[in-house]
Structure 1
Amino acid sequence: MGRKVYKTSLPIALLIWLLPLIAVFVTSVRSTDDLTNGNYWGWPERFALVENYRTVLFSSPMLHYFLNSCLITVPSVIGSIALAAMAGFALATYPFKGNNSILGIFVAGNFVPIQVLMIPVRQLTLQLGLFNTLEGLILFHISFQTGFCTLFLRNFIKALPYELVEAARIEGASEWQLFYRIILPLIAPALAALAILVFTFVWNDYFWALCLTQGDDAAPITVGVAALKGQWTTAWNLVSAGSLLAALPSVVIFFAMQKHFIAGLTFGATKG
């Protein structure tokens, strides 16, 4: 009985969860005449898929926003993971004084509400001349994501057999050789999973992109979708099409690296 209820409720729950996405997709292929006539929820009288998406891509700055998002996200992912890998290695293998305190700071930083940081971070970017620049957003995302990444990787490195580290040091390997040739290959699944998570966080960020940018120069695609809104009326079919285009890279990255993502999350789960 329980299994039948599960099999019946799962498709229903999935459909309910997908309803907003389905509604956005259907709206993105509606013609302007449909929306003008008030046909918001009914079946479209005329499909304008090619027309709407062509307008979004070539008659708006969407490609410029897309490029900005790439220029922000890729360096942020690389920088945060590189710093976190080195910090996680140090916290996991070096029993220095204050190790736990530093780890506690990384952990505590993840629980600070981002709204509390809005005013000081904005003022800091203004004073440093980084407001409304790609560099400012990159530096912020690297600093903000490094704490979570360090905690994530420190735990993975801590779970590795410490005998491997000792054996490498006995053989005369330097700390950099130990890090690059032994630790990094062993935590490659964790790095892949973390890269997907950080990419998703940074690419989909709207709050900080809105706080730290003004105008179109450094705005990423999440903020750029607002440019599709008119002054007096809003073409919701174009906004919906732009929203789906903005979400597409994260979905593609996840499905392309789904195997590595699952492997990274389950890394060490069968140990012992």
Structure 2
Amino acid sequence: MTAVAAPPAPGTRTTTPTAGPRRGTRPARLLLHAVLCLVALGWLAPVLLAVYASLRPYQETARDGYFSLPRRLSLDYYRQAFTQSDMARHFANSLLIAVPGVAVTLLLASFTAFAVARLRIWGGVVLLTLFTAGNLLPPQALVTPLYVLLNHIPLPYALAGSPVLYDSYLGVIAVQVAFQLGFCVFVLTGFMRALPEEICEAAIVDGAGVWTRYWRITLPLCRPALAALATLEFTWMYNDFLWALVLVDDPDKLPVTSALNNLRGQFFTDDNLLAAGSVLVALPAVLVFLLLQRHFVAGLTLGAGKG
């Protein structure tokens, strides 16, 4: 026999379970998606216009305007931009600056963040404050002092390709690392402080030294943050135009962002050709983001959810 629930006694109030909170009404979600689509379209509009212009002849856009329907589309401007600006050489120059710069920045930042967050060294808060305060300095205010300083630091010619740090890859890398180090230390310190203390305590009990705790325990756990920082730092160093323009004198050593000046004529500039060169320059940064997208998103959203 199955038991039958007794009816409630007279005078008692009965409650029925209510459903959980709704995530949002349908009109509100539609409005949110519409706003996000408009924002994304507004951000992509200049990029799409540059791609569209790079596929059309300049004579056609000069006659009909950039927002007219095309009569012919071709990739000729991309070939011309790649060959006329000697883009292959300048691509290699950008990689010679960005790749070692990112590696050295993340290595030094992880050393400092580990010492501040996990070893609790004396004066760690002051050190972190100094690194963070360095990000408040505008780079433009230091152009002249750095130009003079790099012209007076001697180096063996075989090491830097120049008797001084000025007009050398090493000088540009050193400046890039110095300006990006504070931000990376700040981010990695907060990330390492969020790691459970019990992991390092268990490693100490097992006899792990400082290097083992850093290299084999803490650093693998910081992979999402390192991937996110690597994406940002590569984009910033690769797209930099100021320091290469100030600290490099040899045109053959200029990065690819500076090579776009080779597409500008003395009396006339083909804007469609310049748009094609700009699209080619942007492709490596987009490729790096697509390759590290999963880790980049994980690094940004880690700790955003509870439970």
Q: So what's the TM-score if we normalise by structure 1? A: 0.93
Conserved 8 A contact 1:31-1:44? no
Structure 1 residue 48 and structure 2 residue 74: aligned?
yes
135-144 or 36-45, larger mean C-alpha shift: 36-45
Specify the SS of the correspondent of 1:234: coil
Residue number in structure 2 paired with 1:92 = 117
Offset from partner CA, 1:119-138 (integer Å, 9 cap, x none): 11122122222222211111
**Equivalent residue number for residue 191 of structure 1:** 226
CA shift at 1:104, angstroms? Answer: 0.5
In the TM superposition, what are the counterparts of 1:166-185 in structure 2 within 5 Å?
166-185=201-220
Structure 2 Cα separation of the partners of residues 261 and 52 of structure 1? 33
Residue 139 of structure 2 corresponds to 114
Moved more, 185-194 or 3-12: 3-12
Deviates more, 1:51-60 or 1:177-186: 51-60
| Structure 2 residue 96 is the aligned partner of structure 1 residue 71 | yes
Q: Does the 8 A contact of 1:132 with 1:217 survive in 2?
A: no
Moved more, 10-19 or 252-261: 10-19
Render the CA deviation track for 1:185-233: whole Å, top value 9, x for unaligned. Answer: 1111111111111111111111222222234222111111111101110
Structure 1 residue 127 corresponds to structure 2 residue 152: yes
Amino acid at match of 2:216: R
The structure that is helix-richer by fraction is 1
User: What's the counterpart of residue 156 of structure 2?
Assistant: none
Partners of 2:134 and 2:280 in 1: CA distance: 32
Please list the CA deviations of residues 107-155 of structure 1 after superposition, one character each: whole Å capped at 9, or x if unmatched.
1011111211111112212222222221111111112111111111111
CA-based RMSD: 1.8
Q: What is the CA distance between 1:35 and its match in structure 2?
A: 4.8
* Structure 2 segments unaligned to the other structure (5+ residues): 1-26, 154-163
Does 2:112 align with 1:81? Answer: no
**Aligned position for 1:268:** 303
Letter in 2 for 1:21: V
Look up the equivalent residue of 1:181 and give its one-letter code: R
**Mapped contact 1:77–1:142 kept (Cα < 8 A):** yes
Structure 2 residue 197 is the aligned partner of structure 1 residue 162: yes
Structure 1 Cα separation of the partners of residues 250 and 71 of structure 2: 36
Q: Which amino acid is 1:53 matched to?
A: Y
Letter in 2 for 1:261: F
| Residue 237 (structure 2) pairs with residue 202 (structure 1) | yes
Does 102-111 or 52-61 show the bigger shift?
A: 52-61
AA matched with 1:202: M
Alignment of 1:227 with 2:253, yes or no, is: no
**Aligned counterparts of 2:70 and 2:282: Cα–Cα separation in 1:** 23
Q: Is the 8 A contact 1:193 1:265 kept in 2?
A: yes
Identity percentage over the alignment? 41
**AA at the equivalent of 2:138:** P
Structure 2 CA distance for aligned equivalents of residues 25 and 156 of structure 1? 38
Contact 1:133/1:217 (CA < 8 Å) preserved in 2?
no
Q: Paired residue for 2:6?
A: none
SS in 2 for 1:147: helix
How far does the alpha carbon of each residue in 1:140-177 deviate from its partner, in whole angstroms, 9 at most, with x for none?
11121111111111111111111221221222111111
Aligned to 1:237: 272
Secondary structure class of the residue paired with 1:166: helix
Which deviates more from structure 2 when the two are superposed, residues 211-220 or residues 168-177?
211-220
* 1:271 Cα deviation after fit: 6.0
Instruction: Determine the C-alpha separation between the residues in 2 that align with 1:15 and 1:109.
Output: 35
8 Å Cα contact 2:85/2:260 also seen in 1: no
Q: Could you give the per-residue CA deviations for residues 36-66 of structure 1, whole angstroms, max 9, x where no partner exists? A: 54644423333232x1111111233111111
Distance 1:8 1:159 in 2: 36
Distance 1:209 1:42 in 2: 37
**Higher alpha-carbon deviation: 35-44 or 81-90:** 35-44
Conservation of the 8 A alpha-carbon contact between 2:115 and 2:121 = no
Larger displacement relative to structure 2 (114-123 or 37-46): 37-46
